[in-house]
Amino acid sequence: MAAEVIRVLVVDDHPVVRQGLRTFLDLWDDLEVVGEAADGAGCLAAADRLRPDVILLDLRMPGTDGVHALHGLRAAGNPARVLVITSFAEPSVIVPAVRAGAAGYVYKDVDPAALAAAVRSVHAGHVLLHPSVARLLAEGEARPGAAALTAREREVLTEVARGNSNREIAKTLLLSEKTVKAHMTAILGKLGLHDRTQAALYAVRTGLVSPAGW
Amino acid sequence: MAAEVIRVLVVDDHPVVRQGLRTFLDLWDDLEVVGEAADGAGCLAAADRLRPDVILLDLRMPGTDGVHALHGLRAAGNPARVLVITSFAEPSVIVPAVRAGAAGYVYKDVDPAALAAAVRSVHAGHVLLHPSVARLLAEGEARPGAAALTAREREVLTEVARGNSNREIAKTLLLSEKTVKAHMTAILGKLGLHDRTQAALYAVRTGLVSPAGW
DNA sequence: CAAACCCGGGGTCCTAGGACCAAAGTCCGA
DNA sequence: TCGGACTTTGGTCCTAGGACCCCGGGTTTG
């Protein structure tokens, strides 16, 4: 028994998904699931306690999300390699995660063999990137993404993505409508979008607002 | 060994989710996963071949979706009880499924014990509904939902939910802008919404358009 | 046959939205 | 201290969007 066992921590808010991932990984003798967590905070605690080699991390979770967890891992100097599990094809979701230290990502429709290969690959020190994501990283972001937004802009965008008008947002955030419009102009400029509808859709696609949010 | 075994078919487009559900159900001796399918068409074929007692069905899948599969099961006179697995809280997604014959639904964050209980319950002939869904069924739909839209209206809404302006939609669908506006007015009226942004969000939430559609 | 529905398209009109100009105050890092 | 970023708000102006009126043709159903 000379084969090294890769210790894996599974982080996803859905128990079904965690179980599916665990079962997939249990198919291989060289992979061992040493723990699970349901959000970013649980991830940090479990990573500290269990010292996994690889963390499978969903980005979009309630409470502390995946990107924040990545920052936390980095700040704690945790050496675990992080493989992001995502439903989202949008590079601008993934680029911030990669910038925050993720070693790669796989989509949720991954099959067991591909998942195992990805885990082994990041454990071996590789970085797994789709060409479109690699290009974005190389060029800097062609479309900066939500990371370029200020906190206030993000608040306004969140309200837009809840279907509210500028007037309603002004009331909610205790601003003048002029201010909301100014933020909106900034948001559209930064994201390279044409109107609020595109902005709302973008917010949903990138996980800023959940589709079931209202 | 007098206990009856409930035969279950698992239908979801994500292998990870299917595996998670299978593993959950395997925890109980009275539940047996007899097959899997990745979309509505696969569901119909498997249901016909395997004759499950209960089908766990995701509504939102590429190709033939869950509601269409429900219609197909009914048309085929298949007696299997259908338990919908959904990420969506929105009753207007679920009501059409229940109307199409689903015996109930559980959310994707369900734990193993609750899932098993739900399977047994629908197998025993019960209908599992949250009060808000039951009320909608009793009253008829307060908000008719996408089912009230004509085919053309649905096409226009799909384009709106892709972030296109009326002018762009007119070009795409070879219409005058006036006609697009007329459809838009009809859509907003039928869905009880105020503007296109809400309509786009609604389309995403109800699965008419996938968040990753553009 | 009439009614209902769907489709397409015309008109008028108003306002929400956004482009683009300006300004002031606060905070923080070099 | 100064400059940049952020936040807030004002102005002007134009147009996309949508409410609400109208019409005609085709199809289906009672």
Nucleotide nearest to A151 (CA to C1'): D6
Q: A121 with A113: CB under 8 angstroms?
A: no
Would the pTM of this model clear 0.80, i.e. be above it?
no
SS3 labels along B20-36: HHHHHHCCCCCEEEEEE
Could you give all domains of chain B from N- to C-terminal order, each with its CATH number? 6-123 (3.40.50.2300), 143-213 (1.10.10.10)
Q: What pLDDT does B212 receive?
A: 41
Q: Which residue of B has its CA nearest to A87?
A: B212
Is the CB of B197 inside 8 Å of chain A's CB atoms? yes
Chain C nucleotides near the protein (CB, 7 A):
5-11, 16-22
Most confident of A61-70, A72-81, A191-200: A191-200
Kindly report the number of other CB atoms within 10 A of residue B140's CB atom. Answer: 8
Q: Which residue of B has its CA nearest to A197?
A: B197
Q: What is the pLDDT of residues B152-192, one digit of tens each?
A: 999 999 999 999 999 999 998 999 999 999 999 999 988 88
Measure the CA dihedral A49/A54/A58/A62, to 10°.
10
Nearest to A62 by CA among A12, A9, A8, A10: A12
Cβ-Cβ contacts under 8 Å, B109 against chain A: 13-16
Kindly report the number of other CB atoms within 10 A of residue B3's CB atom. Answer: 8
Sheet of B104-107: strand order equals B31-37, B6-11, B54-58, B81-86, B104-107
Kindly report the number of other CB atoms within 10 A of residue B186's CB atom. Answer: 16
Average pLDDT on B123-141 reads 66
Residue A212 has pLDDT above 60, yes or no: no
Nucleotide nearest to B196 (CA to C1'): D17
Is the CB of B183 inside 8 Å of chain A's CB atoms? no
Whether residue A201 and residue B16 make contact (CB cut-off 8 A), yes or no, is: no
Whether residue A205 and residue B194 make contact (CB cut-off 8 A), yes or no, is: no
Q: Over chain A, what is the mean pLDDT? A: 82
Q: What pLDDT does A142 receive?
A: 43
Whether residue B201 and residue A163 make contact (CB cut-off 8 A), yes or no, is: yes
Is the CB of A177 inside 8 Å of chain B's CB atoms? no
Sheet of A31-37: strand order equals A31-37, A6-11, A54-58, A81-86, A104-107
Segment (H or E) for A81:
strand A81-86
Nucleotide nearest to B194 (CA to C1'): D18
Residue A131 has pLDDT above 70, yes or no: no
A 142-201: CB within 7 Å of strand D: 150-153, 173, 175-176, 178-179, 181-183, 195
Kindly report the number of other CB atoms within 10 A of residue A121's CB atom. Answer: 17
Q: Which residue of B has its CA nearest to A161?
A: B201
Residue nearest to nucleotide C18 (CA to C1'): A185
